[in-house]
Amino acid sequence: MRSQPAAGLPNSGTGRTTGSLASDEIAPVRTCQTVLDEAMALVVSGDLAAARVIVDEALPIYSDNIVLHRFSGDIYLQQNDRDKALLSYMNALGINPLDPQTLSSIGSLLTLMKNYHDAKGFFQAAHNIQPNDAFSAYNWVHACMKESDWSFFDKLPHILRLGDNSPMDVQPFALLGITDNPALHKKRVEARSKGIMKTVKENKRFSRTSVQGRRIRLGFFSDDFREHATMLLMGRFFDLVDRDRFEVFVYDYATTAGGSVRADVEESADVYHNVRDISDHELAELAREDGVDIAIDMKTFTKGGRLAVFAERAAPVQVAFLGYPGTSGLPTMDYFLADDVTVPQSQRQHFSEKILYMPHCYQVNDNTREHSKDVPTRAEMGLPEDAFVFCSFNNPNKVTPAEFDIWMKLLRNVPDSVLWLFAPTEELRHNLLREAEARGVSSDRLFFAGRVSIPEHQARMSLGDLFLDAFNCNAHTTASEAVWAGLPLVTKAGKQFAARVAASIVTAIGCPDLVTETEEEYYDLAYKLATDPEALSALKRRLRANLRTTPLYDSEGYVRDFESLMEKAILRYEEGSKPKHLYLR
């Protein structure tokens, strides 16, 4: 769309326009709201440059309009110019330092910049001014969790209820870490998905032939075809797909370089599309033109997800897979890939999709990944040589006071034990030490791990004695990394999918006895293993022996099972039957 001419804006003097208008013609004065409406329409259409022109011409005229300055910042943000976005938001804040929307906008920008500490302050200020606003409240909580700042927990019941009035302001992924409530999660994501469905028209017509006698076309959609946890898990997945039965189409919408991982994906795919610069509608159309039979969304509500593509329908069968640990709430998402542990029959009600049941663990793993030969010493990691090392390498935003209470109880009751935590920032470490001391544990019992490369991280994990899992949102990729390193993991199986992933992983590697059902059982098992060297040694031997003989790291078997479920799903569609829960028998 072309940029609109500036002639319709009032100038700062006469209110007349310049250019082709006769000198006695008075141009209609456009209000600031009219400018905003026109600019918003251009943003929605994707013409950010034209919206930028209109807003820039209006700003000198309506320099005291806080909404216009904020909207200018929003456009800069979409144009990926964060410095100018911040300047625009600060200009808005200069007009009204107590405007909660502006404070939240600055908080959101700082969050994108991973400056969670300062973001937390802006969101908290917005929440204090407007305590019933869900957006500022949930983002404050998320920023706090990133730093293990649990000062909000007394307000959590109130904050969780705020989503009833504005569910679109609730970030689903942030919700998973603060409560194990699959009914609430489904309620929130269905509201968000309903909003998405209003913006598109569902496609129900597909120009295609039956898959009988031809290869089934699988379309994989993500922006994680790069150095990312998803690709660490998938490894050779695309190479292992049976090309006599399937074709692999990759739709990559990453905005950053992908390096060797992306190059491998391009080489492995039958068809690779870089689609970062096309709209959701154009992407859905492209997949339909490619004749994709099954569209596989590997993002859902994780950063960079494009759910509108699946709301419109990119393929006759659509599957949510791997990236997001919960339901999409989208009526056009037909299936969700899981297993009996992550989604037992009693929990199906919390999914809008039907479940495709893998016979073992839903999580794919790569059995060709190397075990590091350069394992550091405990001394090199700053750990005491003779201590019993409890560890938790979960991201800090998964850890709540509930499990931390138990970890501190273990430290108090297990002599010569320490806790090794992933805490890459000083603020995180400060908060965790403060929480430990408040529970009667000396600061010298906590040790911290920073960010390192994936091989270095894998190598250092073997220095731990026992991994202590988080409750609401378990270790996922980290759990399979732990068992690959020979590190036993104690987990508590919760209610929602995200709280049952580690249980699925240790079950698939033949160690279901590492799964507990209550906080008391969790503590008792961790205490037993920490105080019974023979039991722990036997467990570690079993873990190592099972690595090559159990389903968790059977990459080839996993792909065959995945293919069989995809085939069952598309054949059911071609029979004219609605989706249903599908098993491999």
Tell me the backbone φ, ψ of residue 343, rounded to 5 degrees. -135, 80
Q: How far is C-alpha 50 from the geometric centre of its chain's CA atoms?
A: 32
Residue 29: band (very low, low, confident or very high) from pLDDT cuts 50, 70, 90: low
**CA separation (Å) from 251 to 269, 273, 364?**
10, 5, 20
Q: Report the run of H or E that residue 355 belongs to, with start and end.
A: strand 354-358
What's the CATH number where 115 sits? 1.25.40.10
Query: What percent of the chain is predicted at pLDDT more than 70?
Result: 95
In a domain? residue 393:
yes
Q: What is the pLDDT of residue 372?
A: 81
Q: What is the pLDDT of residue 489?
A: 98
Query: With contact defined as beta carbons under 8 Å apart, do 543 and 483 qualify?
Result: yes
Query: With contact defined as beta carbons under 8 Å apart, do 491 and 503 qualify?
Result: yes
> Exposed, middle or buried: residue 391 (CB in 10 Å: 0-12, 13-18, 19+)?
buried
- What's the whole-number mean pLDDT along residues 357-366? 98
* Interval 202-247: pLDDT, tens: 999 999 999 999 999 999 999 999 989 999 999 999 999 999 999 9
Residue 56 belongs to domain spanning: 6-173
- What's the whole-number mean pLDDT along residues 34-54? 91
Q: What is the pLDDT of residue 17?
A: 34
Q: Between 21 and 524, name the one with better pLDDT.
A: 524
Q: Which residues pair with 447 in a beta bridge?
A: 420
**DSSP category for residue 372:** P
User: Same domain, yes or no, for 326 and 400?
Assistant: no
d(CA 387, CA 379): 12
- Asked whether the predicted pLDDT for residue 122 surpasses 80, the reply is yes
d(CA 394, CA 467): 10
In a domain? residue 53:
yes
User: Same domain, yes or no, for 548 and 562?
Assistant: no
d(CA 102, CA 110): 12
Q: What is the pLDDT of residue 567?
A: 98
Q: How far is C-alpha 444 from the geometric centre of its chain's CA atoms?
A: 33
User: Same domain, yes or no, for 329 and 423?
Assistant: no
d(CA 44, CA 582): 39
d(CA 266, CA 239): 11
- Asked whether the predicted pLDDT for residue 171 surpasses 80, the reply is yes
User: Same domain, yes or no, for 398 and 543?
Assistant: yes
- Asked whether the predicted pLDDT for residue 535 surpasses 70, the reply is yes
User: Same domain, yes or no, for 395 and 447?
Assistant: yes
**DSSP category for residue 133:** -
d(CA 337, CA 294): 13
d(CA 126, CA 146): 18
Residue 384: band (very low, low, confident or very high) from pLDDT cuts 50, 70, 90: very high
Mean pLDDT, the chain, as a whole number?
93
Instruction: Spell 415-449 as b/e; 16+ CB within 10 A means b.
Output: eebbbbbbbebeebbebbbebbeeeebeeebbbbb
**CA separation (Å) from 49 to 1, 46, 68?**
9, 9, 16
- Asked whether the predicted pLDDT for residue 14 surpasses 50, the reply is no
Tell me the backbone φ, ψ of residue 67, rounded to 5 degrees. -65, -40
Give the position of tokens 């927990």: 153
User: Same domain, yes or no, for 341 and 396?
Assistant: no
d(CA 514, CA 490): 5
With H, G, I as helix, E, B as strand and everything else as coil, classify residue 382.
coil
User: Same domain, yes or no, for 298 and 355?
Assistant: yes
* Interval 241-266: pLDDT, tens: 999 999 999 999 997 777 899 999 99
- Asked whether the predicted pLDDT for residue 5 surpasses 60, the reply is no
Q: What is the pLDDT of residue 513?
A: 98
In a domain? residue 186:
no
User: Same domain, yes or no, for 519 and 444?
Assistant: yes
d(CA 393, CA 370): 20
In a domain? residue 377:
no
Alpha carbon dihedral 198, 302, 105, 66, in 10-degree steps, equals -20
User: Same domain, yes or no, for 543 and 489?
Assistant: yes
Tokens of 481: 């990394």
- Asked whether the predicted pLDDT for residue 3 surpasses 50, the reply is no
Tell me the backbone φ, ψ of residue 335, rounded to 5 degrees. -135, 155
Query: With contact defined as beta carbons under 8 Å apart, do 252 and 345 qualify?
Result: no
Which of 138, 154, 173 terminates a domain? The answer is: 173
What's the CATH number where 317 sits? 3.40.50.11380
Residues in the chain: 585
User: Same domain, yes or no, for 352 and 413?
Assistant: no
- In this prediction the pTM is 0.91
d(CA 8, CA 165): 39
Q: What is the pLDDT of residue 30?
A: 78
Q: How many domains does the chain have?
A: 3
Give counts: helices (H), strands (E), the chain. 23, 13
User: Same domain, yes or no, for 547 and 568?
Assistant: no
In a domain? residue 353:
yes
d(CA 260, CA 265): 9
User: Same domain, yes or no, for 158 and 229?
Assistant: no
* Interval 455-513: pLDDT, tens: 899 999 999 999 999 999 999 999 999 999 999 999 999 999 999 999 999 999 999 99
d(CA 166, CA 35): 27
- Asked whether the predicted pLDDT for residue 6 surpasses 60, the reply is no
* Interval 299-335: pLDDT, tens: 999 989 999 999 999 999 999 999 999 999 999 999 9
Which of 148, 173, 198 terminates a domain? The answer is: 173
Beta strand 417-422 pairing with 489-492: unpaired
- Asked whether the predicted pLDDT for residue 46 surpasses 70, the reply is yes
With H, G, I as helix, E, B as strand and everything else as coil, classify residue 585.
coil
What's the CATH number where 538 sits? 3.40.50.2000
In a domain? residue 326:
yes
Q: Kindly give, in sequence order, each residue whose CB lies less than 8 Å from that of residue 426, ignoring residues fewer than 6 positions away.
A: none
Complete DSSP assignment for 15-29: S---SSS-TTPPPPP
Give the position of tokens 């009751």: 413
Which of 122, 146, 173 terminates a domain? The answer is: 173
Tokens of 114: 């991973």
In a domain? residue 241:
yes
Q: Where are the alpha helices (DSSP H) in 16-133?
A: 32-45, 48-58, 66-78, 82-95, 100-112, 116-129
- In one-letter notation, the amino acid at residue 64 is D
Q: What is the pLDDT of residue 53?
A: 95
> Exposed, middle or buried: residue 517 (CB in 10 Å: 0-12, 13-18, 19+)?
exposed
In a domain? residue 246:
yes
d(CA 320, CA 334): 8
Residue 577: band (very low, low, confident or very high) from pLDDT cuts 50, 70, 90: very high
Query: With contact defined as beta carbons under 8 Å apart, do 381 and 569 qualify?
Result: no
